Amino acid sequence: MLAVLASIALVSTAPAPLIARTPPNIPSSSAAQTQLTGLRVAAQGPQTGYSRDLFPHWSTTSGSCNTRETVLQRDGTGVVTDSACASTSGRWFSPYDGATWSAASDVDIDHVVPLSNAWKSGAASWSTSRRETFANDLTNPQLIAVTDNVNQAKSDQGPESWKPPVTSYYCTYAKMWIKVKSVYSLTVTSAEKSALTSMLNSC
């Protein structure tokens, strides 16, 4: 009887299974290939004039919730928030490196296509309103919760110079990157296109 009770206790205290989350509207491999073909190849523009402040981010989504908190809730499992919408507990699986975290402070929200990259591939000419839409896009696969130091290692690099540590995620990452560049009519460099083509070949 004691053994049965012990096993019940173990089951009841076991954490809920971690559910794999993915950002919305990731295209199929064939659709991504078509979108990649449609992207204009051009050298990157200058960094001149760039500032993250030109891309207002973590805008309010509803009530006291902003974009960051919304993505944390979307991508996490068992997320609990306080009255300010801050995530106080939960678990997050980072598909870039396969790590799991239980503190929101260990998780960054990555802009799949970095703001600086966007600036140099077309966003420099956008209105502030369009840049804000880009930086807070919850409709396309532009925002994803990942390990903070992995996101920091990525910085503003494109797939020609940085790829997720988990090689099995190359396919999904490439499809997300291509979708965002396609939606916003951003350019790609020849090296970037070559890297994305190679990554799609892993699908």
Write the DSSP symbol of residue 159: T
Q: From CA 171, how far away is CA 161, in angstroms rounded? A: 16
Alpha helices in the chain (DSSP H): 2-13, 29-38, 67-75, 115-120, 128-135, 148-154, 170-183, 190-200
Q: Is pLDDT of 8 > 90? A: no
What are the structure tokens assigned to 94, written together?
């980072």
Q: What is the pLDDT of residues 102-149, one digit of tens each?
A: 999 999 999 999 999 999 999 999 999 999 999 999 999 999 999 999
Q: Which residue type does 118 have?
A: A
What percent of the chain has pLDDT above 70? Answer: 90
CB 173 within 8 A of CB 188: no
Q: Is pLDDT of 56 > 70? A: yes
